[in-house]
Structure 1
Amino acid sequence: MSTPVQRGGGSRASADRLARLLNLVPYLLARPGIEIAEAAADLGVSDRQLREDLELLWVCGLPGYGPGDLIDMAFDGDRVTITYDAGIDRPLRLTPDEALALVVALRMLAETPGMANRDAIDRALAKIEHAAGDLADAPVAVEMSGGSDQVEALRGAVQRQRALRITYYTAARDETTERVIDPVRMLMVDGKAYVEAWCRQAEAMRLFRVDRIDALLELEEPAVTPPQARLHDLSAGLFQPAPDLTLVTLRVGRAGRWITEYYSCERVERTEGEEWLVSLRVSDLDWARRFVLGLGPDATVVSPAELAVQVRDQAAAALDAYAVPT
């Protein structure tokens, strides 16, 4: 069904109208020739609102949007009868799979650290679980990435406003460092849990991925965020590469596709074969060289040429070393 966007009235009004339209056709199908005033009273809207809904239904239907594709109806004075339903012949109902998917998604949302409007989430979850019946009791476990114990420890530090000493692996530099951070909030981005904190080592706000925190210790001192600290704007996504970083493009085979899930990629292009073209920005070509060599035959450097030469030379030197008799 294709429905034009309603302008004005706010998102809540638009959502209410969409729900009403989805159920209006099966309602009218079950009551051919019903008076508009009676239908409006049943649906809890005014006569004028119902007539506007009926006018909107006339331009809704199936792709093609021709006379035989759009919802059609006949009027006899103040009575209306649906003559073509475009397949919307029953009220909207969730399938078991859809209901279970919603239950799991809402449970995950409820477990997201620092999530606002928790009461609204709990109310929505209760309604879906009630509608799903026995299906809501399916043995589905929802667990945050990074380990539930670690997430709980970080969440507790945020709530208690305590500083943390962490051991953190930085993938971009392929190094592990120890640093003291002042946590501000927990986030869930693309299915990964993060703690946003003031890093005393970098003297800036940083996002630390929870599954890359190897160890953490809550300190006795309070978390202190300086006045110049600003939270990250994630409206455009987590990965916002600086234009001055080097763009590396690799051709990876099936066994190397895992890098698109573990590293922030700027572009992933699926070719006709099994190989993918993957582009990511790096701050250090030495790290990129080690990274590509670690992928072995599953990766080929497309650009930059400088990186391709470094990888080729080190691979050749390694082969020469193996050729020397011991």
Structure 2
Amino acid sequence: MARSAPSRFSRLLAMVPYFAARRGISIVEAARDLGVTPKQLTKDLELLFLCGLPGYFPNDLIDLQFEHGYVEVGFTAGMDRPLQLTTTEASTMLVALRALADMPGVMETSAVLRAIAKIEQAVGSSAEEGGGASSDGDEPDVFTTIREAVRTGRALAIRYYSATRDNVGERVVDPIRVQVVDNNSYLEAWCRSSEGVRLFRFDRIDTATILDEPSAPPEEAALTPQSAILSDNPDLPAVDIEIDPSELWILDYYTIEPAEALENRPDPDAPLRARLIYGSPEWLTRFLLGFGGRVRVVSSPAIADTVVTTARAARARYA
């Protein structure tokens, strides 16, 4: 089987140590060794001549002489020896990789563990000394399927457990991206049944099947990552509300994000706009009814109508 030719970047990285070990070699012979034409090799040398160390002054650039058909290397800019990580650099990379290995679904665990092993071997340490990742490299097939759908831009059919509603439902979603929040991995996707962007925790997705259709979320849905910091259950919907000043105490007890900082409000006596995360329309209706109109929904006419209808029905019972 014929070997694939190395990329130009890989070839450029190898050229300086190659020529440093073969001083005075002809361009024709070097081109034959490197698997390129003399014309392409000359172009590579012209590019390499402009590379070097930060600062990029003449004394920082790689010094090559090749005008007369033979190559001589004067200054290698350190590229004549393999790159070596310092202890601090290696430790930082190992800590980051071990954190990735402990986050299910973010990356292929076996690939992360292989990278950890290579770095440990390069710096002469062991997994036991550095608290190596304990995972055996296996991960649930559903995690692999989710990442594959995000990578290839395909729609997904999932069975998802909602902790707040305590039920399992089937949904078709259009994947947007994968997010990591508080050591949990989430699939951010457009939920076709909810008609909105939702975050689905990886470990609550029972099954995932890639569909034979592209992921097609609305363009505006993919522009801004969905916030997963507002709630312990960030797959829940949200609604915009107005809060009268007398009821601002609810900010300390419910998952509500004010539209503006309280101390910066131009009129402290005006209602405060905010965003409320809720579990179900039924819960939200009961919540709003309890405030007698002092907390109002402003972004969902359907829920507002439900609140009015329910309040009238309750009042009629006293007639």
TM bucket normalised to smaller: 0.3 to 0.5
TM-score (norm 1): 0.46
> What TM-score does the superposition give when structure 2 sets the normalisation length?
0.47
Task: Name which one, 1 or 2, has greater alpha-carbon Rg.
Answer: 2
